Amino acid sequence: MADEGSDDLPRTLRREREARERASREKEAKARAATLTHDFGASDSRDERRAPAEGFSGTVVNRFDVPFSHLVAFFIKAVFAAIPALIVLSVLLYLGGNVVKAMYPELIHMQILVTFPN
């Protein structure tokens, strides 16, 4: 059988398969022990009522364990990696402004003058 090599599977796949088997056993046991009640969905657990399609595994990330120093180092690297992009962007905007000024000289060129009273 294909299931004989279960020790070769990664731990997460083994746990997922065991969880599915456990859920199917619980579902079968519940179906055998089901009784008719006035609330027809009362014997079902809340998870089964909200369960999505069968193909969806329902995997949820509960925790993302990254040391704080590694996270800080990553974001510092990201900031330094963004500096060349900001320089290129400012050069492109400067050149674009000069092109627009050369093509449309009639546009009003405004300068902000800051004066200090004596």
Look at residue 116 and tell me if it is in a domain: no
- Does the pLDDT of residue 51 top 60, yes or no? no
Question: Does residue 68 sit in the same domain as residue 56?
Answer: no
pTM of the prediction? 0.37
Q: What is the pLDDT of residues 54-65, one digit of tens each?
A: 556 677 778 888
Polymer length of the chain: 118
As a whole number of angstroms, the distance between CA 59 and CA 66 comes to: 20
Indicate the residue type of 117: P
| Interatomic CA distance for residues 41 and 44, integer angstroms | 5
Q: Are residues 4 and 28 in the same domain?
A: yes
- 62-96 confidence digits (pLDDT tens): 888 889 999 999 999 999 999 999 999 999 999 99
Q: If you ran DSSP here, which 8-state letter would residue 31 be given? A: H
Is 114 contained in some domain?
no
Q: Tell me how far apart the alpha carbons of residues 106 and 15 are, in angstroms, rounded to a whole number.
A: 72
Are 8 and 48 in a shared domain? yes
Q: Which domain holds residue 102?
A: 64-107
Does residue 41 lie within any of the structural domains?
yes
Could you tell me which of 88, 85, 113, 109 has the C-alpha nearest to residue 97? 109
pLDDT tens per residue across span 20-43: 999 999 988 888 777 655 566 666
